[in-house]
C-alpha cells in the first residue's frame, strides 16, 4: 500500500516525454519554498494498493513513469513493490524525485533495492537560495540528475547533462 496524493497522466514536467506521475504523500524534508508543501503529510493521501496503481499506470501504454511527491523514498517499501511490478509487466522507464542524496540512499538496504529499479534519480532537497529555472526537471542547482543503476555499478554518482536527460526515455 502507498499513500498517494494523485496520479497524473500524460504529464511532461516530471521527465522527458509523456509520463504517468505518481505523487506520493509524506515528506520529511520540509524544504523552504517547496512547490508542493501539501504533500508533506503522509496522512494527506489516499491509501492505494500496488495492483491498483499498476493498473492505472499500464492503462497508458505510451507513457513512462515518474515517482514524485512528497518523497517516494519515505514510502520505499511500497514503491519498491510497485517498481518491481512495473518492471515485470512493461518496459516503461522509471524516474524518481527525492530530497535525499544518492549517497544517503545507498546506505539502507530498502532504499538501495528501490534504486536498483530506477532508471534516473533526481536527488537532493530543494534549496530556495540555489533556485535555477534553467535546469531541466530540477528546481535548484544542488539537485542532480543521476543515471541510477550505472552509479550503483560504478560505486560513484554518474550525473547526466541536460542533453543526456533529454535522450533518456
Q: Give 25's contacts (C-beta < 8 A, 6+ positions apart).
A: 3, 4, 5, 39, 41, 42, 43, 44, 45, 69, 70
The confidence score (pLDDT) of residue 15 equals 87
Separation between Cα atoms, residue 65 and residue 9, nearest integer Å = 9
**Whole domain around residue 87: which residue ranges?**
2-167
Q: For residue range 92-137, what is the model confidence (pLDDT) as tens digits? A: 999 999 999 999 999 999 999 999 999 999 999 877 887 788 887 8
User: Mean per-residue pLDDT for 73-101?
Assistant: 96
> Closest by alpha carbon to 22, among 105, 95, 114, 101?
95
Distance, CA of 42 to chain centre: 16
| CATH code for position 108 | 3.20.20.70
| Burial group, residue 4, by CB count within 10 angstroms (0-12, 13-18, 19+) | buried
Number of structural domains (the chain) is 1
Amino acid at each position: 500500500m502507498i499513500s498517494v496524493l494523485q496520479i497524473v497522466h500524460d504529464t511532461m514536467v516530471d521527465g522527458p516525454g509523456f509520463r504517468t506521475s505518481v505523487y506520493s504523500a509524506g515528506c520529511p524534508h520540509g524544504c523552504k519554498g517547496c512547490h508542493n508543501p501539501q504533500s508533506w503529510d503522509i496522512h494527506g493521501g489516499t491509501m492505494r494498493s500496488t495492483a491498483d496503481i499498476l493498473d492505472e499506470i499500464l492503462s497508458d501504454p505510451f507513457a513512462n513513469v515518474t515517482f514524485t511527491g512528497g518523497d517516494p523514498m519515505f514510502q520505499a517499501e511500497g514503491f519498491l513493490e510497485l517498481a518491481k511490478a512495473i518492471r515485470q509487466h512493461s518496459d516503461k522507464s522509471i524516474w524518481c524525485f527525492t530530497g535525499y542524496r544518492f549517497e544517503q540512499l545507498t546506505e539502507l538496504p530498502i532504499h538501495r533495492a528501490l534504486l536498483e529499479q530506477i532508471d534516473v534519480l533526481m536527488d537532493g532537497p530543494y534549496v530556495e537560495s540555489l533556485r535555477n529555472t534553467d535546469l531541466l526537471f530540477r528546481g535548484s542547482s544542488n539537485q542532480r540528475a543521476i543515471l541510477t543503476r550505472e552509479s550503483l555499478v560504478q560505486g560513484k554518482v554518474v550525473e547526466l547533462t541536460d542533453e543526456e536527460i533529454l535522450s533518456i526515455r
